[in-house]
A and B are shown apart, each in its own frame.
Chain A
């Protein structure tokens, strides 16, 4: 019954698309999972920015409303939440035996990762546009126009790549989903606070400044912020892209090592 196996590249494409379709079926059946990941960024956008409306932090350009300043941070945090939770369904597939069933088919193991990755990136794109829409309703416009929006999507995808890779590896590595959720919950806020998402580095104590400068979330925020507010430089974007690419390279390397062992 099995047809002659297609060439490896055709097989990989078909297998990836089949698995991508599976995740979209899940989205159709359980849309609240995606909506839920949007709740936190929206709450930050509504409440925290209102709270800090009058804030004048060192390093903030004079006259910049805090809501405008914070938009890039919320976008980055959305990418973080979506990408880091990307491994959860794979973790459940592993725990309920579906992954074993999948691995018993003659598919390329990489298609499991590719299908999930494409899905997360697609959702991240939709969420980014939704947040930008919400920001626009609150009076924040992207001053660099359509190109700026494209840039925001691109930098979000670069951060999402590395984080998704780490999330998928973590989903394969932890023994139990409780550990995964504990790590996710523990890492989220410190990474957010120790980044430039909510405040410029000039407003941070020295130790925090060093962490923020090395935090991949800051690379993303530092590129997205001038795209929202205007006034960015080419060098700034190149530096951020280089930092994110370096982070992606390390994350993908770690992930491949873990996944190769686990997806035998």
Chain B
């Protein structure tokens, strides 16, 4: 059996998995396109890890169908595993092997032509050359996670499944994981990223599916999901000029594309817009063209947390709060 080149990386239809009375997956539908970073966002118990285990053939679904790289997981699990690099939630490197031995061990299990050479390449890729001969049990949490990420890279698979890769990591290690995902994207690999960190999904993912109680409740780009809540808000405050009246904000901004409404309050204007990242330059251009001096400007965007709240009626678990890196922009 060979993988189907033009099939989506993952296609899941009506997936059901029950643990006794608990419905871990209750008819999940999902499609991940090739080359995208796709986020599965949801609180603990939403069904993310169960989905991953079904996709890898480690759990048998009670209903529905799962295809990975065009292969039916139920009948071709071994072929599926050959094309997937999996990084589990837990740190799983063997503590009694060195970093190098861990990689060589897995390289042999993937039947790579030159396990030694490939292990050295991956050691360099994940920045563990200097610690290669130390036992994994002496590594820090971040180093062990890098080693796990390295195991997922060994056979250079088409699809990478990362299950909560930054869970429990400090800020520095977390940024490294993010860089790792960005590099996979640059190399055209497909990534399925399970996370319950809002900022992680927002920053890294091309599209996000929000999971709740084993069901997908929303799926789109982070931007579109947030726009769906009613758009962003640009707040402008003009500088005070002696004797000059406040700007006529409604006339100035009301007709601009992407602007939904303008609420004027003297020097302050509260402007509801669609797609704030695209609307903001147009709003600023218009004010500059009208020679309105601006004292301050801010863009307020709804978070994915708000999206989750809208679709589920609940907030993501408090435990999902993560250490925030000091630097780094946001996507979408």
A35 at interface by CB-CB < 8 Å? no
List CB contacts (< 8 Å) of A179-208 with chain B: none
- Which of the candidate stretches B87-95, B123-131, B242-250, B320-328 sits at the interface with the other chain? B87-95
B108 near A264: Cβ-Cβ < 8 Å: no
A14 near B57: Cβ-Cβ < 8 Å: no
B81 near A105: Cβ-Cβ < 8 Å: yes
Picked from B79, B111, B118, the residue with its CB within 8 Å of the CB of A11 is: B111
- Which of the candidate stretches B149-157, B254-262, B311-319 sits at the interface with the other chain? B149-157
List CB contacts (< 8 Å) of B43-59 with chain A: 53, 56-59
Q: How far is the CB of B300 from chain A (nearest CB, A)?
A: 41
Given the known interface contacts A22-B94, A22-B105, A98-B92, the answer about A2 and B60 at a Cβ–Cβ threshold of 8 Å is no
User: Which size class do A's interface residues fall under?
Assistant: 20 to 34
B56 near A104: Cβ-Cβ < 8 Å: yes
B-chain residues with CB within 8 Å of residue A98 when the two chains form the complex: 92, 94
Q: Which of chain A's residues has its CB closest to B115's CB?
A: A18
Picked from A26, A30, A106, the residue with its CB within 8 Å of the CB of B110 is: A106
CA distance A14 to B58 in the complex (A): 22
Q: Which of chain A's residues has its CB closest to B121's CB?
A: A1
B96 near A101: Cβ-Cβ < 8 Å: no
A146 at interface by CB-CB < 8 Å? no
A103 near B94: Cβ-Cβ < 8 Å: no
Q: How far is the CB of A115 from chain B (nearest CB, A)?
A: 11
Q: Which of chain A's residues has its CB closest to B57's CB?
A: A264
Given the known interface contacts A1-B154, A106-B82, the answer about A100 and B111 at a Cβ–Cβ threshold of 8 Å is no
A18 near B105: Cβ-Cβ < 8 Å: yes
CA distance A22 to B108 in the complex (A): 11
Picked from B82, B86, B135, the residue with its CB within 8 Å of the CB of A29 is: B135
What total of chain B residues lie within 8 Å of the partner, measured CB to CB?
A: 38
B101 at interface by CB-CB < 8 Å? yes
A-chain residues with CB within 8 Å of residue B92 when the two chains form the complex: 96-98, 100-101
B-chain residues with CB within 8 Å of residue A102 when the two chains form the complex: 109
Most buried by B among A1, A30, A104: A104
A22 near B57: Cβ-Cβ < 8 Å: no
CA distance A11 to B112 in the complex (A): 11
A2 near B155: Cβ-Cβ < 8 Å: yes
Q: How far is the CB of B87 from chain A (nearest CB, A)?
A: 9
B97 at interface by CB-CB < 8 Å? yes
B151 near A101: Cβ-Cβ < 8 Å: yes
Q: How far is the CB of A211 from chain B (nearest CB, A)?
A: 38
CA distance A102 to B78 in the complex (A): 12
Write the B29-71 contact mask toward A (1 if CB under 8 angstroms, else 0).
Answer: 0000000000000000000000001001111100000000000
A5 at interface by CB-CB < 8 Å? yes
B106 at interface by CB-CB < 8 Å? yes
Q: Which of chain B's residues has its CB closest to A101's CB?
A: B92
Q: Which residues from chain B sit less than 8 Å from chain A, CB to CB?
A: 53, 56-60, 78-79, 81-84, 86, 88-92, 94, 96-97, 101, 105-106, 108-113, 118, 135, 148, 151, 154-157
Q: Which residues from chain A sit less than 8 Å from chain B, CB to CB?
A: 1-3, 5-6, 11, 14-15, 18, 21-22, 25-26, 29-30, 96-98, 100-107, 264
Complex A-B: 7 CB contacts under 8 Å: A1-B118, A2-B83, A3-B111, A18-B109, A97-B88, A101-B88, A101-B148
